[in-house]
């Protein structure tokens, strides 16, 4: 807080001005599936800095605890639960516990999906497809339906996730790409149906090098540690994105009240790999 002096008709008046950034998500309850992953971790930290009340789930208990501590160190209230998102009953229990704790849901961010390392379509199996289908499309389906009444009460926002793998048809990602395009189609339908209820639904196609990708590349021979070999395309801005600095702010905008006139859209946050101007 800072005081400044102004003069009005010969009188000296002090006015107090509060300096500092406004928290976009102050006291907003944000649910994130797949919160312990590469994008989920840094998105959660950024949301904590923006004043959000966080409800985080993931299948990886150790990494989820790490994210919780990082967010609590930022001053956030955090509820975490280990959830197998392909299981509707576990999703239902998660939503119910979040509402019991925070009494509302303002935003749902569906990050969870299981993905195999890239391999050709002919080497894919139905089991490969089913894993991405159940952890990605089915979990997104369930979570949106379960959160609907709570999001309707708050005029809430949903952010789902596509991928350049589907948008551009990247080799080696047949199952993942198919599921991600399914999520985009589902998002457009729900955006139309729920718009009258004040709920927005948008999709982010993120392009960034996450911790998971870095860790995977570190296991490869040095000559294979090239993001391009994993399907990453050259960006127009000359560098690959950072989740915390480049991707998380866009997701937070779409989860906030500032984006209420946007719905049914896909945002390619990838440094210009995909251009639709």
Q: What is the pLDDT of residue 5?
A: 46
- pLDDT tens track for 161-200: 999 999 999 999 999 999 999 999 999 999 999 999 999 9
Q: What parts of the chain have a pLDDT lower than 50?
A: 1-8, 13, 17-19
Residue among 96, 104, 99, 90 at smallest CA distance from 138 = 90
Q: Please classify residue 151 by burial: count the beta carbons closer than 10 Å to its beta carbon, then call 0-12 exposed, 13-18 middle and 19+ buried.
A: buried
Q: Could you give the C-alpha distances from 262 to 73, 201, 202, 266, 267, in angstroms and in order? A: 33, 8, 8, 10, 11
Catalytic residue (choose from 7, 133, 176, 261)? 176
Percent of the chain residues past pLDDT 90, beyond the cut? 73
Q: What is the pLDDT of residue 9?
A: 52
Q: What is the pLDDT of residue 229?
A: 63
Q: What is the pLDDT of residue 17?
A: 46
Q: What is the pLDDT of residue 6?
A: 46
CA 26 – CA 43 distance, rounded (Å)? 15
CA 185 – CA 169 distance, rounded (Å)? 16
Active site (annotated) includes residue 176: yes
Q: Please classify residue 10 by burial: count the beta carbons closer than 10 Å to its beta carbon, then call 0-12 exposed, 13-18 middle and 19+ buried.
A: exposed
């Amino acid at each position: 807080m800072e005081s400044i002096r102004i003069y009005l008709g010969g009188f000296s008046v002090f006015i107090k001005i509060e300096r500092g950034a406004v928290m976009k998500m102050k006291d907003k309850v944000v649910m994130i599936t797949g919160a312990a992953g590469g994008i989920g971790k840094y998105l959660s930290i950024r949301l904590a800095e923006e004043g959000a009340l966080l409800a985080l789930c993931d299948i990886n208990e150790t990494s989820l605890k790490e994210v919780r501590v990082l967010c609590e160190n930022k001053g956030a209230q955090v509820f975490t639960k280990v959830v197998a998102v392909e299981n509707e009953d576990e999703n239902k229990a998660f939503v119910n516990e979040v509402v019991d704790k925070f009494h509302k849901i303002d935003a749902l961010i569906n990050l969870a999906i299981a993905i195999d390392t890239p391999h050709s379509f002919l080497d894919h199996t139905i089991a490969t497809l089913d894993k991405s289908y159940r952890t990605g499309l089915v979990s997104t389906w369930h979570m949106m339906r379960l959160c609907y009444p709570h999001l309707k009460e708050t005029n809430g926002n949903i952010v789902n996730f596509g991928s350049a793998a589907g948008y551009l048809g990247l080799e080696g990602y047949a199952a993942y790409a198919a599921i991600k395009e399914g999520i985009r189609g589902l998002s457009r339908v729900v955006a139309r149906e729920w718009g009258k209820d004040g709920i927005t639904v948008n999709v982010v196609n993120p392009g960034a090098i996450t911790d998971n990708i870095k860790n995977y590349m570190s296991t490869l021979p040095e000559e294979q540690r090239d993001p391009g070999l994993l399907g990453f395309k050259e960006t127009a801005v000359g560098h690959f994105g950072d989740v915390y600095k480049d991707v998380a702010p866009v997701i937070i905008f779409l989860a906030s009240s500032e984006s209420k006139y946007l719905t049914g859209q896909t945002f390619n946050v990838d440094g210009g790999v995909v251009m639709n101007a």
